[in-house]
Amino acid sequence: MKKRTADNVHKAYVEEAMDHGIWERSTTYQICTVCGYVADGGAPDSCPVCGADRPRFQGVD
């Protein structure tokens, strides 16, 4: 897991992912930077929750 400086928004996403219990697996996840939706194993063409485009997703280790 990469550490990002002064990125409280990103931190919130990470905490949410941990709450959902998905952080223990080794797959890379794609997080929607608009709504915080976490896609398992790869970014979708668009976010199923808020409809954000793929470039809006941010990969996390």
Nearer CB in complex with Zn ion: 3/20: 20
Footprint (CB under 5 A) of Zn ion, residues 1-60: 32, 34-35, 37, 47, 49-50, 52
Tokens found for residue 12: 């919130």
Residue with tokens 């409809």: 51
CB 58, min distance to Zn ion, A: 11
Question: What is the DSSP code string of 8-39?
Answer: HHHHHHHHHHHHTT-TTS-S-EEEETTT--EE
Minimum distance, C-beta of residue 1 to Zn ion, in the bound complex (Å):
21
- For the bound state, the minimum distance from the C-beta of residue 6 to Zn ion, rounded and expressed in Å, comes to 23
